[in-house]
Amino acid sequence: MVLPAGTGFAPEPQAEQDAEPDPASVARAIVLRQLTTSPKSRLQLARKLAERNVPEDVAEAVLDRFEEVRLVDDAEFADMWVRSRSQTRKLAKGALRRELADKGIEADIAARALEQLSDEAEESAARELVQRKLKGTAGLTDRAERDKVTRRLASMLARKGYQPSQAFRIVGEVLDAVAGEEAETEFL
């Protein structure tokens, strides 16, 4: 029994086997594979298509179609990115804004996404980070040791995007609170 060509069961004619794949279907496959691993911004996907030598006009058409069906949505991506990175990495708005810009998110979309992160939540995250880093630290009675710890903790917060004045203030407040707790336990 001979099956007709194109059913998927019979061998394809030699001409179809030798033909190069359609650039649009290659681009769609690349984008789908990228989105399977994690959400991506349009710019990230465009860069990946460029790496794979997909013609720019084909890449634009494929990405436009993915945006139409809402599989690529920079605003949704930005919201998810801010939620995730602020919770898991305790990043401040400044660092998140830089990361979104690196991913090709427009400034107004990034600003809307960053609105979900309140100043209180940002400060609370910074306090939590400082307290977590202090857990292994013994009493800070020596002024030089306290200054060194203050600089290290403020630098850690600065790397996470917190403003220097905010970082030093929060570190100082947490250290004062820890010193007060240590003084109370000494009297008991």
Q: 81-114 pLDDT, tens per residue?
A: 999 999 999 999 999 999 999 999 999 999 999 9
Is residue 34 assigned to a domain?
A: yes
Say if residue 177 is in the same domain as residue 138: yes
The answer as to whether 56 is a domain residue is: yes
129 and 91 in a common domain: no
Indicate whether 125 and 140 sit together in one domain: yes
Distances (CA, A) of 17 to 12, 85, 176: 6, 46, 73
Q: Which of 42, 68, 94 is the last residue of a domain?
A: 68
57 and 93 housed in the same domain: no
Whether the predicted pLDDT of 17 surpasses 90 = no
Taking the C-alpha atoms of residue 146 and residue 25, their distance in angstroms, rounded to an integer, is 61
Structure tokens at 103: 């991913």
Does the residue 31 lie in any domain? yes
pTM, two decimals, is: 0.77
φ, ψ (nearest 5 deg) of residue 2: -105, 125
Q: Evaluate whether residue 81 is within a structural domain.
A: yes
Tally of domains within the chain: 3
Q: Is residue 78 part of a domain?
A: yes
Residues 32 and 83 reside in one and the same domain: no
- DSSP code, position 97: H
- Asked if the structure places residue 4 within a domain, the reply is no
Whether 148 and 176 share a structural domain? yes
82 in a domain, yes or no? yes
Structural domain that includes position 165: 119-182
Tell me: do 61 and 78 sit in the same domain: no
Of 114, 141, 170, the residue at which a domain comes to its end is 114
Shared domain check, 178 and 143: yes
**Distance between CA atoms of 1 and 94, rounded to whole angstroms?**
68
**pLDDT by residue (tens digit) across 106-155?**
999 999 999 999 999 999 999 999 999 888 666 666 788 889 999 999 99
Residue 45 vs residue 12, higher pLDDT: 45
Query: Is residue 15 in a domain?
Result: no
Count of CB atoms within 10 A of residue 144's CB? 8
Whether residue 175 sits in one domain with residue 160: yes
